Structure 1
């Protein structure tokens, strides 16, 4: 039986109401609910990166194991 993990994020976006401001810029904040960690964002890509870091915290470690440094040989 596989195990599942549920992670929750809160995303708040603030859009300026001043129509004269062009191009329209927004700003926001994303929060990882379990840890309370927050980050200010102004691009959706930043929110995706933030979520990825919390969903796959071991990714770098696993990649290092899968791909040893160039100066080390594998048996």
Structure 2
């Protein structure tokens, strides 16, 4: 089973790749990257780690690769 990713790492990489925080509703933060089409990523803030399946969803939404998140 793949190990979970740290929430701080995921947010830091998104911001480094040009995403900016828009808003937060409950425990879900919304990040946006301008352009055409604009990309919107929803990041759950449920603890210190993000499960692998949720991480894969963030990858699809952001159009980033898993290699971008290797520390």
Q: Same fold (TM over 0.5)?
A: no
* TM-score of the superposed pair, with normalisation by structure 1: 0.30
* TM-score of the superposed pair, with normalisation by structure 2: 0.31
Higher-RCO chain (CA-CA 8 Å, sequence separation at least 6): 2
Considering only CA atoms, is the larger Rg found in Structure 1 or Structure 2?
1
